Amino acid sequence: MNILLRPPDPELAVHSERLSALVHAEIEAQGPIAFSRYMELALYAPGLGYYSAGLRKFGYGGDFITAPELGPIYAQTLARVIAPVLRNMEQPTLLEIGGGSGRFAVDLWQALENLDALPERYWLLERSADLRERQIERLEQELAQALPRIAWLDEPPKDRWDGVLVANEVVDALPVDLFEITNDGPVECVVEIRDGRFQFAHRPLQGVLAVRVRELLERLPQELPTGWRGELLNSGEAWLDSVAGKLRDGMALLVDYGEVAADLYHRQRQDGSLRCYYRHRVHDDPFWYPGLCDLTASVDFTALARAADQLGFDLAAYDTQSAFLRAARIDLAVGDLSLMPEMQRIRVAQQLKTLMLPNEMGERFKVMALTRQLDAEQLPEALTAPGQRHRL
């Protein structure tokens, strides 16, 4: 594959070679591996994976930018949806999954404080040891007064809890499997070594993955053509159960780029949605310098809604990020632009554009709100709009 990307500095290339050697060793020992295993190692191999090694990832100086990294408006707007739920509970907990740099936790805490709706405790569940360290450092500096109520969990909660769960751009970072439609039906795309390099190979679909792919293809409104390749998040339901299964009363907010299954698994999207990010450039070769690129796939929100239903959640909202933030009164978080000094006005307008414009995050990102045991009158206003639930 021909990619016009500048190769990394030598020491970064060496880092990537170490990770490649680890993957090579695994394939040599046991044969071709599932793509989800490759992605798991590329992102999370201790000390080497993209999220586990101490490389700069988020923000303008990293590889990509997320909504919380743009500035506080995003967290302040979500706080307006979260606050009414927390206020209605005794001693609620806020659980943030995959907190990245810790920026969102700081801004959300401050926004909830301003709305007089602080949770009793704020838990962070972060898979990457490196990012967890960065979160601790940032929160010690910027949220010192709140530390007695903040804790980092080593594993998802095992006991029942009430409150709100937030996961921003986490589901798209969960390892996916790949499948391809051939003349003989769908097959799994696995990773093998050929000519000394990682390459894709086919093998028959097996086990749960085979069942899920078959079910998916049966439900689609159109047949996928030969040569079509895409992803499936086989672990989605297990992940949701692990992080939110013990939520008794409350809400889970999942924000990510993604679509309904009919759009994601569309015959015109021949190559699926797997993307690789390196220094704000997008490419499509997951084998290019593993460990230095973020690998991500769009979320199938139809599958997530089905999993949530199986787990006894009510689907309270599903909409584009722009529509959701509008319903959540982003205008109140922004304030009056005309009263701001020029530089601030430019910064705020830029944040707003990136969050709301359709070709930026506005329509590519979706928000899903799942609830348990919340009465209609307890629902925040933003969750009562019909949104795009009918499309799931």
Ligand X SMILES: C[S@@+](CC[C@H](N)C(=O)[O-])C[C@H]1O[C@@H](n2cnc3c(N)ncnc32)[C@H](O)[C@@H]1O
How far apart CA 224 and CA 269 sit, in angstroms, is 9
Nearest approach in angstroms of CB 132 to ligand X is 8
Among 168, 320, 321, 351, binds ligand X (CB under 6 A): 168
> Of 228 and 322, which CB lies nearer to ligand X in the complex structure?
322
Token pair, residue 300, equals: 């199938």
Window contacting ligand X (CB under 6 A); options: 15-23, 165-173, 314-322, 337-345 = 165-173
Q: How far is the CB of 354 from ligand X (least distance, A)?
A: 13
Rounded CA-CA distance 185/70 in Å is: 44
| H or E segment and range at residue 211 | helix 207-219
By DSSP bridging, strand 93-97 and strand 33-34 are unpaired
CB 122 within 8 A of CB 96: yes
Measured in whole angstroms, how far is the alpha carbon of residue 178 from the centre of its chain?
18
At its nearest, how many Å lie between ligand X and the CB of residue 83? 20
Residue 286 touches ligand X, criterion: CB under 6 A: no
The rounded distance, in Å, linking the Cα atoms of 116 and 8 is 47
Question: Using the rule CB under 6 A, is 177 a contact of ligand X?
Answer: no
Residue in 256, 269, 335, 254 with CA at minimum distance from that of residue 298: 256
Q: Pattern of binders to ligand X over 48-87, x per CB under 6 A?
A: ---x------x-------x-xx------------------
The secondary element (H helix, E strand) that includes residue 103 is helix 103-114
Per CB under 6 A, the list member of 34, 75, 82, 97 interacting with ligand X is: 97
Using CB under 6 A as the binding rule, whether residue 321 contacts ligand X is answered as no
Q: Of the two residues 45 and 379, which places its CB atom closer to ligand X in the complex? A: 45
- Is 191 one of the binding residues for ligand X (CB under 6 A)? no
Q: Does 98 bind ligand X (CB under 6 A)?
A: yes
Question: Is residue 170 a contact residue for ligand X (CB under 6 A)?
Answer: yes
Nearer to ligand X, 209 or 295 (CB): 295
Q: Least separation, in Å, of the C-beta of 128 and ligand X?
A: 4
Do residues 280 and 345 lie in contact, with contact meaning Cβ atoms separated by under 8 Å?
A: no
Residue number, 66 or 224, with CB nearest to ligand X: 66
Nearest to 293 by CA among 64, 25, 135, 33: 64
> Does the footprint of ligand X cover residue 169 (CB under 6 A)?
yes
Among 2-10, 92-100, 302-310, 315-323, which window interacts with ligand X (CB under 6 A)? 92-100
Residue corresponding to tokens 């045991």:
373
First to last CA, the chain: 35
The residue to which tokens 């439609």 are assigned: 181
Closer residue to ligand X (CB): 171 or 224: 171
Q: How many residues bind ligand X (CB under 6 A)?
A: 20
Q: Letter for the amino acid at 130?
A: D
**Least gap, CB of 135 to ligand X (angstroms):** 8
Task: Kindly state the smallest distance separating residue 195's Cβ from ligand X, in Å.
Answer: 32
The residue with tokens 């009510």 is 314
Q: Which of 162, 128, 343 shows the shortest CA–CA distance to 248?
A: 162
Cβ atoms of residues 382 and 327 within 8 Å: yes
169 vs 237 by CB, closer to ligand X: 169
Q: Say if CB 258 and CB 171 are below 8 A apart.
A: yes
Binding to ligand X (CB under 6 A) within 100-159 occurs at: 100, 104, 125-128, 131
Supply 126's token pair.
């972060």
User: Token match 């944040």: residue?
Assistant: 351
Minimal distance, residue 247 CB to ligand X, in Å: 15
Measured from the CB atom, the residue of 16 and 168 that comes closer to ligand X is 168
Q: What does the binding site for ligand X look like in residue numbers (CB under 6 A)?
A: 51, 58, 66, 68-69, 97-100, 104, 125-128, 131, 168-170, 173-174
